[in-house]
Structure 1
């Protein structure tokens, strides 16, 4: 693969020559405004886009001992990943097979069994049903038929992902050669820095994803990044919807103390990394809703999940290589301070977009070549949910049926 550093454009937007991604110089446009505030569409996207995609749960180093578990909660589904007594990690639907009660919350450890808080059905760490109170009142029931439902799982560089509707490419295939960019950061050695942060943004999940997929807004929307980093506004994306851009610490120091100190310390302190990687921040996105940000000192995962038509759930775990030195702790503090501000900026920008989308007469504007990953994301949405190509929302109650009809028409064409 051609190194991204060889493709990096000049930092300032007015000095860059965009790579032409549109055919014949014609403009491309985003999705109609109605697609960002329609609850029926949000339900359809959850079923046809989120459930068949890989979703992040945890790092393997959060689950070191038998019985250790971590959960992922989404709109209607909950998944638990647990280490068995044999040392293997397994993923299950986090639902009791009796009456559907949710079994576990957050992360923690079960000693020996998972016990349902409702009626006390209990499961071995490998998912087998092993205990049923008043079992004699279930004539003919075979416990072997009622183990926890397994969920597809894959681990890449120590990161644990699940997919509720199986099939499609593996994570290894999706990331392909990009994995080699990541290896020097030794992600598989990392540990959680603090508790998983979750929060709600007042915007449709696609608004937040659109924001995460492009660097066009960085010089204006993230002045801190613009001061301290030479940012690759274009980046590159592969055929599986995995995109990456590379930013490098500027030689010119930022006037802001936290940014300036990070610029100075990272190349000097993090001598366990190759010299190039001490200065390089990698920003990955993975279709349809995950960002993976890899820094010299740490990494974070930015997971955007639909919640309602105009709200989304954010999961934001942070990990780092174990390093108890004072200077390493200071770098992690500086990074958190810098990126906390970036997170506030992204939330404000996304919520401003959500408010503007309802403006009378608004029509989607053209997409820049810097926004090519948004085009890829929207094309994937159009393929899974062709109803989003309609200029107006279908009448209430008819959206799912209309989408099915359009899929049938496409298949017959």
Structure 2
């Protein structure tokens, strides 16, 4: 059931989707105050494995250093050369290809060619910038503002100095949905959209568009009586057991029984404020995070996990692989369908319509996001009494 009793106004205005000032504000807030999903754990399973990305303006290197996952700015402390090219691979040493400076897992230099030419060299002053790393199931996460993390926090906790630690509430569920004992990685992609990151995120938080945008992949959204929305201080959820009667659904149920001995029809969608979501079914799950590239450009890291077979031997493993391939293909199609409509929303935002947007009762999770963003990240937060919690939302 929905919790809203009336139509709700959109609380973020169009300038917050279109201007350079808003883009810089959003990037800074996400960079300084949120955890970033940067890689799948399986990409970093062997010593020397690395992933190099750019995230929110920071060149980032995540590496398995003798069994420990570390994250560093991908820039040499000597002449600021890029340490490794973007992508992933394996290197025995963390070494700059320009002058041969080598670094340890703490970011300090381990080898300095012709060290006598650097008298009085200060290893503390000239080292790599390092970032906190957390592992949640099959996810590797990095915080790009080390000063915001509690210095006494262990490597398994999400304790932030400013209290913005919503991942503490959801890490167990996301770990269960991505651990390598039950799930295998079936998708690992960065996808880009010609729209503001909030446009893309909001498209994932409602099913009102399904019949129009996904008529052959999803079809109509379930009726209200078959949907349950829940609201919490750190996020929102949607649950439903309503399923269509297509041949794909029947095949999925048959495969589940062959591979695991049963089938749970529940579909669960989780939004962790502000920019992380998870879509979970019995057979597969997709965890994705949105982030800005420009006022009208955004990206999404998408990690998909398929359920491993626990029965059926080689046949069960083959069926799991086939089902994982099918789930990944369907996910790519759904994202492409969404990605085709997002630029139209962005152009509409930039068109300057003075009339305010509005949300229907079925879109109440968007209202929750707006309330949380304004109260937590905006320069002029709304009244605390107007924020979303686990009570019913009213306009």
Q: What do residues 303-344 of structure 1 show as CA deviations (whole Å, max 9, x unaligned)?
A: 222111111123223333455633223322332332222112
Aligned: 1:285 with 2:278: no
The residue aligned with 1:312 is 298
Relative to the length of structure 2, the TM-score reads 0.79
Gaps of 5+ in 1: 1-8, 10-17, 255-259, 390-413
Which of 9, 24, 32 is the matching residue for 2:13? 32
Aligned: 1:357 with 2:349: yes
The residue aligned with 1:13 is none
Q: What do residues 199-240 of structure 1 show as CA deviations (whole Å, max 9, x unaligned)?
A: 321111111112122233234332245449858655323201
The residue aligned with 2:32 is 51
Q: Relative to structure 1, is the Cα distance of residues 388 and 361 closer, same or farther in structure 2, using a 3 angstrom cutoff?
A: farther
* Secondary structure of 1:199's aligned partner: strand
Q: Is the 8 A contact 1:80 1:92 kept in 2?
A: yes
Q: Could you say which structure has the higher strand fraction?
A: 2
Q: Relative to structure 1, is the Cα distance of residues 127 and 295 closer, same or farther in structure 2, using a 3 angstrom cutoff?
A: farther
Q: Is the 8 A contact 1:95 1:148 kept in 2?
A: yes
Displacement of 1:273 in angstroms is 4.4
Compare 230-239 and 311-320 and name the one that shifted more: 230-239
Displacement of 1:387 in angstroms is 5.9
Which of 186, 203, 206 is the matching residue for 1:211? 203
* Secondary structure of 1:209's aligned partner: helix
The residue aligned with 1:246 is 239
The residue aligned with 1:174 is 169
Q: Is the 8 A contact 2:263 2:282 kept in 1?
A: no
Displacement of 1:149 in angstroms is 2.2
The residue aligned with 2:378 is 385
Gaps of 5+ in 2: 149-159, 383-395
Q: Relative to structure 1, is the Cα distance of residues 201 and 289 closer, same or farther in structure 2, using a 3 angstrom cutoff?
A: same
Aligned: 1:153 with 2:133: yes
* Secondary structure of 1:284's aligned partner: strand
Q: Relative to structure 1, is the Cα distance of residues 375 and 100 closer, same or farther in structure 2, using a 3 angstrom cutoff?
A: farther
Q: Is the 8 A contact 1:199 1:315 kept in 2?
A: yes
Compare 34-43 and 119-128 and name the one that shifted more: 119-128
Q: Could you say which structure has the higher helix fraction?
A: 1
Q: What do residues 152-186 of structure 1 show as CA deviations (whole Å, max 9, x unaligned)?
A: 2222223221111232444652317xx45973x56
The residue aligned with 2:111 is 131
The residue aligned with 2:179 is 187
* Secondary structure of 1:160's aligned partner: strand
The residue aligned with 1:82 is 63
The residue aligned with 2:280 is 294
Q: Is the 8 A contact 1:244 1:282 kept in 2?
A: yes
Alignment partners' CA distance in 2, 1:151 and 1:92: 6
Alignment partners' CA distance in 1, 2:364 and 2:179: 28
* Secondary structure of 1:193's aligned partner: strand
Displacement of 1:142 in angstroms is 2.8
Alignment partners' CA distance in 1, 2:97 and 2:240: 48
Q: Relative to structure 1, is the Cα distance of residues 264 and 26 closer, same or farther in structure 2, using a 3 angstrom cutoff?
A: closer
Q: Relative to structure 1, is the Cα distance of residues 381 and 229 closer, same or farther in structure 2, using a 3 angstrom cutoff?
A: closer
Alignment partners' CA distance in 1, 2:347 and 2:295: 13
Alignment partners' CA distance in 2, 1:116 and 1:309: 34
The residue aligned with 1:6 is none
RMSD across aligned positions (CA): 2.9
